Structure 1
Amino acid sequence: MMDTADTVTFLFTDIEGSTRLAQTRPDTWPDAQERHHAILRAAVELNGGRVFNIVGDAFCVAFSNSPDALRAAITAQTTLHDEEWGDTPVRVRMGIHTGSAQRQDDGDYRGYLALSRVARLMSAAHGGQVLLSQVAEDLVREQLPPGVSLRDMGRRRLKDLIQPEHIYQAIIPGLPTDFPPLKTEDAYRHNLPPQLTRFIGREREIAEIAAALANHRLVTLIGAGGTGKTRLSLRVAEDIRKRYADGVWLVELATLTDPAGIPEAIRLVLRVSEQMGESALEVLSAYLREKQILLILDNCEHLIEASAEVAGNLLAAAPGLTLLATSREALGMRGEVVWPVPSLTVPDIRRMPPLDELACFESVQLFVDRVTLAQRHFVLSADNAAAVAQICARLDGIPLALEMAAARVRTMGVAQVAARLDDRFRLLTGGGRTALPRQQTLRALLDWS
């Protein structure tokens, strides 16, 4: 005999690494486990919950509402954190989810989807971390305890569950808040290339573009060649990839010459299988229809009309798709947010700033950073400040031009590089060997633009 299904909030907990602790700390583990059980039971009882199952050190708890479940988790984590564990550290991961379940005569619950989701949510956490599902977050948002907040961890795929889950982390005063990436199926789903050099500046731009992508489905970064559109798009994508359950993917169009090849290029990046009798665009439209995904279409300018057409078709077919494009010009589509990428900030060489102020300009920071890659003892000083400022200002803060100039310092010195800027087309030919042809020289760069 079972009751009808009710809406129940579940709190599942588990000690991280308990098997290892039991084996490596056989003398102290039983006492630690007993104290853990007592702390969990006290927190649950204080907040109106009911423990309906314990498997080893894993607790399964039911509450009538989400705020009580969150308060119990906070109480337990705070007490566990303050407890003196000695050489047997007890770190508990927790998950909270609200769903439909039936209470059985023996006190256990039947509700496969709800129980599976909270179990997977708990398993995605690290010791000391409390994760909430979207449903649970909706129900606690207006009733958070003082000082407690929720961090948006993005839409993530949980093991064996078809629908992704929007996950939130409880930020509890006085407790650790930063943990490794969530242990979800999509924790590292992307093809963003690793960067070999440090990203300099652009904090405001990163924040603004990230905000635009949160509210719009098509954002195009425009600017002349060498202004750093691609690098900026990759940095933004890296920062926000947790928003997209199906990942963020870079599609490079610079070497593509046939406009009709854009859908195929995207298909290859996403590793979508071909379908007999269907075009690449049709296959992509079907594949992306249920996906939460960010595509970066990089260097659209030479295929602008085809890029716009493909973007429009895919956005219409896939409501969960977001596009970040880079181009010399806008795609010219309805709903497109056009974001001009500025050069890096440069000093005014007509009024030479003090050394400490000069060091704050983004162009100076980039130039000095790149010079030190080849000359590790190089520093900005009173002796070279004027030459560095002149290089940065006369190259208009264009990142790629600054990198080419920095590459010349190793053989010519800063002063000579500054003195030869009148012949910059001959001087700046120091693009890396692995760079695209248009990035090998300043003239090629401007010809592309």
Structure 2
Amino acid sequence: MTGDCKDPALAGEGQRLIEWADRSMPVLASIRGQWERTRPLAGLRIGACLHVTTETANLMRTLKAGGAAVALCASNPLSTQDPVAAALNAVYDLPTFAVRGEDNDLYYRHIHQVLDIRPQVTMDDGADLVNTLHTRRSELLAEIIGGTEETTTGVIRLKAMEKEAVLRYPIIAVNDALTKHMFDNRYGTGQSTLDGILRATNYLIAGSTLVVAGYGWCGRGLAMRARGMGANVIVTEIDPLKALEAVMDGFRVLPMEEAAASGDIFVTVTGNVNVIDAPHLQRMKDGAIISNSGHFNVEINIPALEQLAVASHEARANVVEYTLADGRRIRLLAEGRLVNLAAAEGHPAAVMDMSFANQALSADYLFKNAGQLEPRVYAVPEPIDQEIARLKLASMQVRIDQLTAEQQAYLSSYAIGT
């Protein structure tokens, strides 16, 4: 099976980048080394719709080392690293269908080409592969053992499918693993989002007012990192508990309508639609920068911005400046898509090491438990989470204590009191 990439001549560059990332992914490398010997995925077909990055490439290499037949497509039109796609096809013989900037038709053609391998396990980043299977390729569902989902947005979609009893096979919510969201979402998104904003704008974070929409794990990490760079951080929220946490963490919490007038930089990380809407755009100051680090480009109401604007132009790569009727300029980054991937390289490999270890071990779990799971959304089994944390600590040469027999007995007893 032959993949589709922008330029096969980029394969050499892609291989160098993949090998560089691999040096920071010791957990995944240890799994790959073991699987090369044991081949636990032999005979399994895996269809993956993920961001085509250097880290994803090392996950694909690991699945192949385990014996699986794998095909990969992009989960976002602007997140593909073209040299990586070329190397996966030419160097690693892993069929990859991804071109940075592909239009909607090509995006879904690539999804269908991955589905043409008749996968038994799916790997998703946003649930577009699962959705396409259920709506346009339902004849393939009978062969599906299960799937994994990497993102908060995808898990929301899948839980909605489960609630309406239309989900046809079990999905493991990799996003909800502790070794995923506590590290990938918080430290990965926090660093990579600011990296994307800086690469796109070269704007000074220190002294600016940065508005974070959403105080989930991604929002927590972003707010923390922005404050560390000297920003005055405002948080907007709809959940009273998360809003209270943000206040206790030392951030200002305001409704978006109020924050809109104060912000220099805005970042949405909610997984919801029109978080920045027309009324907010009408209150923003001249030169405001708006960006999104949620999975889909719906968190900013871009059609409303286009209607309000009397002119627009590309001010820099990944920056479109819209001029409103009153002369104010609003700068949209990366077409409202994931700014950390569209304008930068995404999360550091060291944190994706744990996320993709979860993907690999969850695929192994699904294969071993084929036919035993109901069609619903499952948590990553705790032993997998614990093992990944143990392997990561070992790779960092960090040792921890273990319970003594006396301590184990104490924790399992109800008889010992004051």
Q: Relative contact order: is structure 1 or structure 2 higher (C-alpha 8 Å, sep ≥ 6)?
A: 2
Larger of the two Rg values belongs to structure: 1
Instruction: Give TM-score scaled by structure 1 length.
Output: 0.26
Instruction: Give TM-score scaled by structure 2 length.
Output: 0.28
